[in-house]
Structure 1
């Protein structure tokens, strides 16, 4: 097993001062965040939280998928989530490229035809955000007491802008 030595070394350093052992895994700040997998996003840092404070679900585009809804339902009912933030971001590949463009780029990289693969591009990010927030708010297992908001994170300024 090679290729991970740098990460395992960093993990050892991390473990030397690890302070979350024995933590029960609830969202200490009562927050869940659905956001994109983009490495420019620090989901906890952008809202002043620390490890253990929130449940984080990441996927391309920060969309509320079936898997995201499953995570949110579990978070609300088992992990003390009381507020849900849906947070896509500016300059996102799934919001700035077409399905055809993404397929072409992946095909070129993979060296095979990927026309069968769907990438769930977003034509209108704010409209998609409103739809995703509505999915959460109307889900039968997300009670009305749970606050749900839709925000766009600006990867160039670090600011969140609430849209829903």
Structure 2
């Protein structure tokens, strides 16, 4: 007879899945940045940065040449502009996901964070983590469960 997962088990597994995917999400963000850069570079109107007297004058206005070029794309190529904007939205969503994880993990004690880092971000087995942290693997398994249930899930669920 299979054990039916209750809501807590599903949430526990969702937290674990999120932690295991942390590095992948960071890589996805970098790939999206590369996709945006590639699209911008392939667009024929992108040319060298032009410096004139006005652009070199002292100002507090922030201007990015790439952002200005993206704005120009709205006139020249709406489809490309839309693609880039969609990539930016996707990138920001993933950045927020990473920021949430980092924020949640910031409440952990040093040993707790190290356990999560070694287990989920580096994919180490408990016996290897036990060697690094000089604790028993059984203790670390219990500590991991306690960290997730008592510290991560309450913040993860909000």
Higher relative CO (CA 8 A, sep ≥ 6), structure 1 or 2? 2
TM range (shorter): under 0.3
TM superposition score normalised by structure 2: 0.26
TM superposition score normalised by structure 1: 0.26
Greater Rg by CA: 2
- Structure number with higher strand proportion: 1
